[in-house]
Amino acid sequence: MIPTPLTWLYVPGDRPHIVSKALASGADVVIIDLEDAVAPDRKEYARTATAERLRDPQPVPVHVRVNALDGPLAAADLHAVAALPGVRGLRLPKVTSAAQITRIAEAVTPPVGAAPPLYALLETALGVEHAYPIAAAHPALRGIALGEADLRADLGIRADAGLDWSRSRVIVAARAAGLIPPPQSVHPDTRDLNGLASSCAHGRALGFLGRAAIHPRQLPIIERAYLPTEQELEEAETVIKAASVEQGAQALPDGRFIDAAVVAAAHRTRSLARRR
């Protein structure tokens, strides 16, 4: 069984040697970026180099973030990489409507088979407002996430806590649409590992699962923050054991009340713990 991704590492598409290092970094998913990480005069090279790399399956899942959907480059990006054996997902930036998801899904669906998995990045106020319609737009859409740098600029927000409403909005939309919990957006200061750990703890409390990264040194901090603690695992095992003996809602010896939802959460905790 493929483990639930907790770490998603972005890497510039115009630097093949960095892509090679990313694939050996231990990240659960490597995201080759054709958008923000690539200078305008390097876009064509990045696309060509990425297509060459992904002609064959890769040792870890690889997603490709294409250029802005309303710009002139996205169609060429999708044409070059969507059907390649090494592509396990397409990340769509600055999504603002469900219609965009439907259009892309139809455009990349082969004559025989299904569209590759799509992931929508919500990076504007309009995207956040349409979070649920986007999340429920098409079966090919497997996840949504915030792009917080662009969203922060769009909203004119300076304090990090000012994004919490948008974060919760996207987490609820993903759940309502039956998608996996979103990963957190990147922590831009790659040297601030204490700040990254604190931010991950806050994100986990909000309901995120895992986080995008821009440097391999961030990966173990993210994974550690999102894996269950020994105490959380022990509590989950207690709940699962109790539920296996009696059916329906019940109280544990310490007085805690458990029902089907609590049991399901305990199984998720156990599943995450097995990544260790």
Q: Which single residue is written with the structure tokens 């895992």?
A: 210
pLDDT > 70? residue 271 = yes
Beta strands 250-251 and 257-258, pairing class: antiparallel
- 52-66, 145-159, 239-253: which has the minimum mean pLDDT? 239-253
pLDDT > 70? residue 276 = no
Beta bridge partners of 258: 250
Q: Which single residue is written with the structure tokens 């959380």?
A: 232
- Give the residue from 237, 212, 210 showing the smallest Cα distance to 224: 210
The stretches of the chain forming alpha helices (DSSP H) are 16-23, 43-53, 74-81, 98-108, 125-129, 131-135, 148-155, 164-176, 193-206, 219-226, 230-245, 260-273
- 27-31, 185-189, 194-198, 236-240: which has the minimum mean pLDDT? 236-240
Q: What is the share, in percent, of the chain residues with pLDDT greater than 90?
A: 76
pLDDT of residue 130: 98
Q: Are 83 and 115 in contact (CB under 8 A)?
A: no
Phi, psi of 192 (to 5 degrees): -90, 75
Which has the higher per-residue pLDDT, 65 or 261? 65
Q: Residue 193 half-sphere exposure, CB side, CA atoms within 13 Å?
A: 10
150 annotated as a binding-site residue: yes
Beta strands 118-122 and 250-251, pairing class: unpaired
pLDDT > 70? residue 135 = yes
pLDDT of residue 101: 98
- Residue range 85-108, pLDDT digits in tens: 999 999 999 999 999 999 999 999
Count other C-beta atoms under 10 Å from residue 45's C-beta: 15
Three-state DSSP class for residue 226? helix
pLDDT of residue 234: 85
Cα–Cα dist 154/158, whole Å: 11
- Residue range 136-174, pLDDT digits in tens: 999 999 999 999 999 999 999 988 889 999 999 999 999
Mean of the per-residue pLDDT values for the chain?
92
Three-state DSSP class for residue 91? strand
pLDDT > 60? residue 239 = yes
pLDDT > 70? residue 251 = no
Q: Residue 208 half-sphere exposure, CB side, CA atoms within 13 Å?
A: 26
41 annotated as a binding-site residue: no
pLDDT of residue 197: 98
65 annotated as a binding-site residue: yes
Q: What's the average model confidence in pLDDT over 61-74?
A: 96
List C-alpha distances in Å: 121 to 47, 94, 130, 131, 266. 20, 6, 12, 10, 29
Which has the higher per-residue pLDDT, 268 or 226? 226
pLDDT > 80? residue 3 = no
Count other C-beta atoms under 10 Å from residue 157's C-beta: 14
- Residue range 172-221, pLDDT digits in tens: 999 999 999 999 999 999 999 999 999 999 999 999 999 999 999 999 99
Beta strands 250-251 and 29-33, pairing class: unpaired
- 26-30, 99-103, 164-168, 271-275: which has the minimum mean pLDDT? 271-275
Amino acid at 107: A
- Give the residue from 240, 234, 218 showing the smallest Cα distance to 273: 234
